[in-house]
Amino acid sequence: MKIEVSAPSNIALIKYMGKIDTAGNRPTNSSFSFTLDELRTFVEIEKTGDKEGQDDWQPLSGPGFAPFEMSENGKIRFLRHFQSLKKELGLNGSYVVRSANNFPSDCGLASSASSFAALTLAVSKLAQESGRETPSRFELAEVSRKGSGSSCRSFFAPWALWTPTGIRPLDLPVQNLRHSVVVVTSAKKKVSSSEAHRRVVTSPLFTGRPERAEARLADLLAAFREKDWEQAYQICWSEFWDMHALFETSKPAFGYIEPGTIEVLQTIREIWQSEKDGPIVTMDAGANVHLLFRDNQTELQKKIHSFFHPKYSCFSSGAMTTSGQG
Ligand code: PMV
C-alpha cells in the first residue's frame, strides 16, 4: 500500500517563538498565520514489511520538486514523529517515508510546518485505508503540533490562530491575499528554529515578549476586521523585528539577516513612503522576505517581482513564479 499526500506551509504574522514545554511544543504566546497554499511538502509512505523494524526516510524525486537532502538530525526528528503517529493511530509494520518540497528547505520558508503537517496527514490517510477511525482535522493539528509547533497552523486556511487553548481557523474580512517571497538566499540556515526557541529565552527582551505578542495579535485582528491595511502592515513590521531582535540579543547572539534582506526591506519601505500603500511584510527565522498583497495589488506585485527578479528568486501565489540566482 502506498499513500501520497501534500500539505501547505504557512507564514506567521504573529510569531511562535519560545516554548513553555519543549516536549509537547507548548508556545509561550499565541500565534497567527496565513496559509501558503502554493508552497507544499509532498509525502509518500510505502509499507516495506509486516514486522516492526527500522522505518526509513528517502528524498522523493519528481518534476517540480526542489532537490532535498535532510540533515541527520532532521531525519531523526521526522522519523520520531512518524513513529509516534504510528503508535497513536495504531499502525504496525515498517515503512519508507519519502518527502520533498516544491520550494527550498530550511531557509526561512517555513518548511518544517508543511513537512510535519504532510507527514501527519499521510499517516492519518494510511490509518484510514487500514480501516481505522480517522481523527478530526482539529485532532490532527494537535498531534502534528507535537512534531513541529508551527505545523498545527497548516491544517486551516487561509487564516489560523493557535492560542494556548487550541488551534482553529479564523474568519476575517480580508480574503484572497496573494503571497510572494523574495528569496535573497536559499542557503540552509545555520541556527535551526528548534535551537532558536531554546536560545531566545536568554534574551533580556524575552521579558514581556508574550504580552507584546498578545497585544499585537489583538491589534492586528482589529486592523484586519476594520480593513485597515496600513495599520496591519505596521503591526506585522514591528512583530517580525521583535522576533529578530530576540535572536540578536540572545546569549550567544545569532541572526539571519543578510545584506540582501536589508535591500529588500528598504525598497518595500520606500514604496510605502512614496505610494502610501504597499504589501504587508514579514520574515520567518531566515533571511528571506515574505510579502502579502491584496487582490487589487497585482500590478504592484508584478512590479516588485520584476524589480528584484534579475537578482533574486521570487516565489508567489498565482502564475508569477520566477527564478533568479536566489
Ligand atoms: O515549528 P517550529 O518549531 O519549526 O518553529 C518555527 C517558528 C517560526 O517559524 C520561526 C515562527 C512561526 O510562528 O512560524
90: left (phi over 0), alpha (psi -120 to 50) or beta: left
Co-location of 207 and 317 in the same domain: yes
Look at residue 269 and tell me whether its pLDDT is greater than 60: yes
Co-location of 157 and 189 in the same domain: no
Average pLDDT, the chain: 92
- What residues does 12 pair with on adjacent strands? 33
What is the predicted pLDDT for the residue at 72?
Answer: 87
What is the predicted pLDDT for the residue at 111?
Answer: 76
Q: Is 154 in the pocket of ligand 1 (CB under 6 A)?
A: no
Look at residue 66 and tell me whether its pLDDT is greater than 80: no
Co-location of 87 and 24 in the same domain: yes
13 inside domain: yes
Strands 94-101 and 56-59: parallel
Look at residue 127 and tell me whether its pLDDT is greater than 70: yes
DSSP H or E run through 182? strand 178-183
28 inside domain: yes
Co-location of 26 and 121 in the same domain: yes
- Last residue within a domain, chosen from 136, 170, 204: 170
Confidence category of residue 108, pLDDT binned at 50, 70, 90 = low
Co-location of 91 and 207 in the same domain: no
Q: Is 229 in the pocket of ligand 1 (CB under 6 A)?
A: no
- Last residue within a domain, chosen from 115, 141, 170: 170
| Site to substitute for ligand 1 among 15, 120, 162, most atoms within 8 A of C-beta | 15
Give CA–CA dist 150/17, Å, rounded: 10
Confidence category of residue 324, pLDDT binned at 50, 70, 90 = very low
- What type of residue sits at position 136? S
Co-location of 275 and 185 in the same domain: yes
The average pLDDT across 132-154 equals 95
Q: How far is CA 158 from CA 11, 25, 171, 221, 277, in A?
A: 11, 23, 9, 14, 22
142 inside domain: yes
Look at residue 326 and tell me whether its pLDDT is greater than 70: no
Co-location of 137 and 34 in the same domain: yes
In percent, the amount of the chain with pLDDT more than 70 equals 96
Look at residue 238 and tell me whether its pLDDT is greater than 50: yes
What is the predicted pLDDT for the residue at 319?
Answer: 38
128 inside domain: yes
Quick one: which of 167, 164, 161 has its CA closest to 34?
161
Give CA–CA dist 201/114, Å, rounded: 26
Q: Is 95 in the pocket of ligand 1 (CB under 6 A)?
A: no
- What is the span of the domain harbouring residue 53? 2-170
| Site to substitute for ligand 1 among 17, 32, 161, most atoms within 8 A of C-beta | 17
SS3 212: helix
Give the CATH number of the domain where residue 292 resides: 3.30.70.890
Which atom of ligand 1 is nearest the CA belonging to 31?
Answer: 13
Co-location of 97 and 182 in the same domain: no
The average pLDDT across 177-187 equals 92
DSSP state at residue 158: S
Quick one: which of 315, 246, 12, 290 has its CA closest to 151?
12
Question: Domain tally for the chain?
Answer: 2
Co-location of 125 and 182 in the same domain: no
Q: How far is CA 93 from the centre of its chain?
A: 31
The average pLDDT across 66-95 equals 89
Co-location of 288 and 313 in the same domain: yes
What is the predicted pLDDT for the residue at 188?
Answer: 82
pTM flag (> 0.75): yes
Co-location of 200 and 298 in the same domain: yes
What is the predicted pLDDT for the residue at 323?
Answer: 44
Q: Is 117 in the pocket of ligand 1 (CB under 6 A)?
A: no
Locate cell 523585528: which residue?
Answer: 241
226 inside domain: yes
- What residues does 163 pair with on adjacent strands? 166
The average pLDDT across 14-35 equals 94
Co-location of 215 and 269 in the same domain: yes
- Last residue within a domain, chosen from 170, 186, 213: 170
124 inside domain: yes
256 inside domain: yes
CA of 278 to the centre of ligand 1 (A): 25
- What residues does 99 pair with on adjacent strands? 43, 59
Q: Is 109 in the pocket of ligand 1 (CB under 6 A)?
A: no
CA of 31 to the centre of ligand 1 (A): 10
CA of 16 to the centre of ligand 1 (A): 6
- Between 317 and 54, the higher pLDDT residue: 54
326 inside domain: no
Give the CATH number of the domain where residue 98 resides: 3.30.230.10
